[in-house]
């Protein structure tokens, strides 16, 4: 059993007896650490929430050096004082059980110097023997921007590694790739105010009620008194679908057919100004030719949506003065994620819904600072959205850093799944994992675990004990939210400050301190000389971003303090307001897209499509929320949603336990929820639980362009194993 499961099990208490049998479970106080029972704070520290990318401003209440309370920041432009269940209990997370307090080597506590020396010596030995491609880094969307900037320099220039990616490839990579293809660079064009100003908001594969809860009030309370028409496109009747005016219950992966049908109908109804669009975008003729093969009826058949609903949706979008097309993982998590994103962008371009108030294609980001790593990092592009293969960008960056241009990498390294494949085949032998828990979050867990077990050196840097730290040779304890300084950038490109309220536990250090120690031991401390503090790193980054699409140069920390959060570039609410895009000719690009069948599709042996996702009470792999009694009490165990007709055929009653199997693995025992939230033939499992891990079932297939996994579609079978 991993140390992680032990920690959680310790939280179980004897709750009572049923027919003489002891009943164990969680009580609301069981799994939290030693927190103060009083919430009376003596000081309040202003910061930004560390869960999702909505980026809510909040205040941490501190007393006697401990975080005792939180409050929504009434002055913050994003949430205006509101918070939701995870945010409201975030202070409990800091002092929860299971924090890492000392570095370890081979499971034994070690001094920092020794841990860092062992790590650096081991990586250098691999590089000496097998070359720099034998070591890789997987990072996260949950550090502060200053740390991403520092880590990028350290990884690519200091350590000379080519393969550096992060969990953001499991998340926003399709949006990034789709934006680049449509507009020439990454960057979400709109802002939250557009949700209030729009006539129509389409939430496409985005369950904001559970996952970005504080966007819901932004949509429901429109500036002009009328709330927009809300359309939810999702195979499930999510809470978001329930609050929407229209729920379009698309078939899994029916989105491309649906979008083709909507665009076809807009063209047929004369709702697209083709002359105008031709001036702004390339590829229109290819798109029109492709749509000759698409009728609304064909779209209806392939999307599993009635033709009338497609027509009505098209007309609603086409006649809106402003429409926001917002999407999340129902779109990105697919082998066709990138191309689906381009089609959403195309729909926005064709209907003029970009670059003006109340209108935008809008990827809602996932993690608190996934944006920061996109802008400053060295993963999909060089810092400041600079391309590896653009000579001007290269020269510019080399000059800014006073380095020889030859030190800059010439291409992007392996993406996350390609790093894992190379670990599997033995090409990558050393891996440094920072702030992510792949054992629970990566698709096809068994293969992943085999890959990680083949590593010669696995270093894991985290704030908590996790199933991934349990596999590591060297564990580095990190300070987390509430314990360090920096900035996060949210889904609407708004930069907000993150502040330390309390000290990290034991010997834990901030990630930036750890990066500087690694740099010193590696012999490249000079690279980070001007990033000695988070503030210094931020100032250097501001200079490096100057003149780029993600320009932070005028977003000083003082300005953030005054305005409560400032959007890049330099305070602009929206991108593309002039109609000029980031391709050299200033035009955007549209693409014809043809849907492909789901590869691991339903068949006799595996008759159900498995959809996986989230619930409001938990955060990802529950390293944080699984230790907070209030949240555990609300959602104590995993479940599988099963349609009543399927349940009847299987003889499964509400609350029964079932076994769920795919070609790759099984969850031996999981509770069934019989509900028509899912369509017949489809099941849904939240992926938060290590113990009932949905990723034992999921398929390790990836989008060919973005390399994002296909987390929402694979086939499974269900068998009843016992009554509740």
Ligand X SMILES: Nc1nc2c(c(=O)[nH]1)N[C@H]1C(S)=C(S)[C@@H](COP(=O)(O)OP(=O)(O)OC[C@H]3O[C@@H](n4cnc5c(=O)[nH]c(N)nc54)[C@H](O)[C@@H]3O)O[C@H]1N2
Q: Which residues bind ligand X (CB under 6 A)?
A: 52, 140, 142-143, 167, 170-171, 204-207, 210-212, 233-236, 238, 250, 252-253, 255, 328-330, 333, 366-367, 434-438, 441, 461-464, 466, 478, 480, 511, 611-614, 616, 618-621, 623-624, 687, 694-695, 698, 711-712
What tokens were used for 145?
């921007």
Would you say 230 or 397 has its CB closer to ligand X? 230
Q: How many CB atoms lie within 10 A of CB 424?
A: 15
CB of 367 to ligand X, least distance (A): 4
DSSP string, 512-559: HHHHHHHHHHHT-GGGGGGGSSHHHHHHHHHHHHTTSTT--TT--HHH
Q: How far apart are CA 724 and CA 714, in angstroms?
A: 27
Backbone phi and psi for residue 174, each to the nearest 5 degrees, phi listed first: -70, -35
491 interacts with, out of ligand X, Mo ion, none, CB within 5 to 8 A per kind = none
366 counts as binding Mo ion under rule CB under 5 A = yes
Least distance (Å) from ligand X to the CB of residue 142?
5
Minimal distance in Å, beta carbon 169 to ligand X? 9
Helix (H, G, I), strand (E, B), or coil: what is residue 124?
Answer: helix
**Could you say which of Mo ion, ligand X, none residue 623 binds, taking C-beta under 5 to 8 angstroms by partner kind?**
ligand X
Give the single-character DSSP code of 132.
G
Site residues for Mo ion, 581-620, by CB under 5 A, read: none
Q: Of ligand X, Mo ion, none, which one does residue 143 interact with (CB within 5 to 8 Å by kind)?
A: ligand X
Q: Write down the least CB distance from residue 365 to Mo ion, Å.
A: 8
Cα separation, 570 vs 552, in Å, equals 6
Interface residue with Mo ion among 83, 171, 191, 439 (CB under 5 A) is: 171
| Phi, psi (degrees; rounded to nearest 5) at 43 | -140, 160
In the complex with ligand X, the residue whose CB is nearer, 260 or 695, is: 695
Alpha-carbon distance of 360 to 576, in angstroms, equals: 10
Site string for Mo ion, 409-448 (x = CB under 5 A): ----------------------------------------
Nearer to Mo ion, 187 or 477 (CB): 187
255 vs 485 by CB, closer to ligand X: 255
| H or E segment and range at residue 148 | helix 145-152
Nearer to ligand X, 204 or 581 (CB): 204
Pick the closest to residue 236 from 689, 697, 673, 724 (CA basis): 673
207 to 177, 189, 215, 239, 431: CA distances (angstroms): 22, 20, 11, 7, 34
Residue with tokens 């129509």: 200
- Closer Cβ to ligand X, 385 or 442, answer by number: 442
- Output the smallest distance, CB 678 to ligand X, in A: 8
- Spatial CA neighbour of 52 closest among 142, 131, 121: 142
By a kind-dependent CB cut-off of 5 to 8 A, residue 621 interacts, out of ligand X, Mo ion, none, with ligand X
- Closer to Mo ion at the Cβ: 370 or 397? 370
Nearer to Mo ion, 171 or 397 (CB): 171
Place of tokens 């330390």: 500
Residue 408 beta carbon to ligand X: minimum distance, rounded to whole angstroms? 26
Q: Centre a 10 Å sphere on the Cβ of residue 308 and count the other Cβ atoms it contains.
A: 10
End-to-end CA distance of the chain: 25
Cβ at position 613, least distance to ligand X in Å: 2
The burial of 108, by beta-carbon neighbours within 10 Å (0-12 exposed, 13-18 middle, 19 or more buried), is given as exposed
The partner in contact with residue 695, picked from ligand X, Mo ion, none with C-beta cut-offs of 5 to 8 angstroms by kind, is ligand X
Q: Residues interacting with Mo ion, by CB under 5 A?
A: 171, 366
């Amino acid at each position: 059993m991993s140390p992680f499961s032990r920690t959680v099990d310790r939280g179980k208490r004897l709750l009572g007896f049923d027919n003489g049998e002891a009943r164990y479970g969680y009580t609301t106080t069981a799994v939290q650490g030693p927190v103060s029972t009083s919430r009376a704070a003596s000081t309040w520290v202003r910061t930004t929430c560390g869960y999702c990318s909505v980026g809510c401003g909040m205040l941490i209440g501190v007393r006697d050096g401990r975080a005792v309370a939180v409050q929504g920041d009434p002055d913050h432009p994003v949430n205006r004082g509101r918070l939701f269940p995870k945010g409201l209990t975030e202070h409990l997370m800091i002092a929860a059980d299971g924090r890492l307090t000392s570095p370890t080597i081979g499971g034994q506590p070690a001094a920092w110097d020794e841990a860092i020396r062992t790590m650096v010596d081991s990586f250098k030995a691999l590089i000496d023997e097998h070359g720099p491609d034998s070591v890789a880094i997987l990072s996260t969307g949950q550090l502060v921007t200053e740390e991403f900037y520092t880590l990028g320099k350290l990884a690519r220039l200091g350590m000379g590694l080519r393969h550096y990616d992060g969990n953001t490839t499991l998340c926003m990579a399709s949006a990034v790739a789709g934006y680049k293809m449509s507009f020439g660079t990454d960057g979400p064009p709109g802002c939250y105010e557009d949700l209030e100003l729009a006539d129509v908001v389409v939430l496409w594969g985005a369950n904001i009620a559970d996952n970005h809860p504080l966007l819901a009030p932004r949509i429901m309370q429109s500036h002009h008194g009328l709330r927009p028409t809300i359309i939810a496109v999702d195979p499930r009747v999510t809470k978001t679908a329930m609050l929407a005016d229209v729920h379009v219950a698309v078939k899994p992966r029916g989105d491309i057919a649906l979008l083709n049908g909507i665009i076809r109908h807009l063209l047929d109804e004369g709702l697209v100004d083709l002359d105008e669009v031709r001036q702004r975008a390339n590829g229109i003729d290819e798109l029109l030719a492709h749509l000759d093969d698409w009728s609304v009826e064909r779209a209806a058949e392939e999307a599993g949506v009635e033709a009338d609903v497609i027509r009505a949706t098209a007309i609603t979008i086409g006649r809106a003065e402003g429409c926001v097309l917002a999407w999340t993982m129902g779109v990105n998590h697919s082998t066709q994620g990138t191309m689906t994103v381009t089609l959403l962008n195309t729909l926005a371009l064709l209907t003029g819904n970009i670059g003006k108030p109340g209108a935008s294609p809008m990827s809602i980001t996932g993690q608190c600072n996934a944006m920061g790593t996109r802008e400053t990092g060295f993963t999909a592009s060089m810092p400041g959205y600079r391309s590896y293969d653009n000579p001007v960008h290269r020269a510019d960056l080399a000059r800014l850093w006073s380095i020889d241009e030859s030190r800059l990498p010439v291409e992007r390294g392996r993406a996350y799944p390609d790093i894992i494949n190379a670990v599997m085949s033995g090409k990558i032998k050393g891996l440094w994992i920072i702030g992510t828990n792949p054992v629970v979050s990566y698709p096809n867990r068994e293969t992943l675990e085999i890959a990680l077990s083949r590593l010669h050196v696995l270093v894991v840097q985290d704030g908590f004990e996790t199933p991934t730290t349990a596999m590591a040779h060297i564990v580095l304890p990190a300070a987390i939210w509430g314990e360090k300084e920096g900035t996060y950038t949210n889904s609407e490109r708004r930069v907000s400050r993150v502040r330390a309220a309390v000290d990290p536990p034991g010997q834990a250090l901030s990630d930036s301190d750890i990066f500087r120690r690694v740099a010193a031991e590696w012999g490249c401390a000079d690279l980070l000389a001007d990033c000695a503090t988070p503030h210094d790193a931020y100032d250097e980054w501001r200079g490096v971003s100057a003149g780029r699409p993600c320009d932070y140069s005028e977003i000083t920390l003082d300005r953030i303090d005054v305005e409560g959060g400032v959007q890049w570039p330099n305070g602009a609410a929206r991108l593309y307001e002039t109609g000029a895009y980031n391709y050299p000719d200033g035009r955007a690009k549209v693409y014809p897209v043809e849907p492909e069948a789901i590869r691991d599709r339903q068949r006799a042996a595996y008759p159900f499509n498995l959809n996986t996702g989230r619930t409001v009470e938990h955060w990802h792999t529950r390293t944080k929320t699984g230790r907070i009694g209030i949240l555990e009490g609300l959602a104590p165990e995993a479940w599988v949603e099963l349609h009543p007709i399927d349940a009847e055929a299987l003889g499964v009653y509400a609350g029964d336990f079932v076994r769920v199997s795919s070609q790759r693995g099984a969850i031996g025992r999981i509770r069934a929820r019989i509900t028509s939230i899912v369509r017949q033939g489809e099941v849904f499992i939240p992926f938060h639980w290590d113990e009932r891990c949905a990723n034992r079932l999921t398929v390790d297939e990836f989008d060919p362009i973005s390399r994002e996994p296909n987390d929402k579609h694979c086939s499974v079978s269900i068998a009843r194993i016992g009554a509740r």
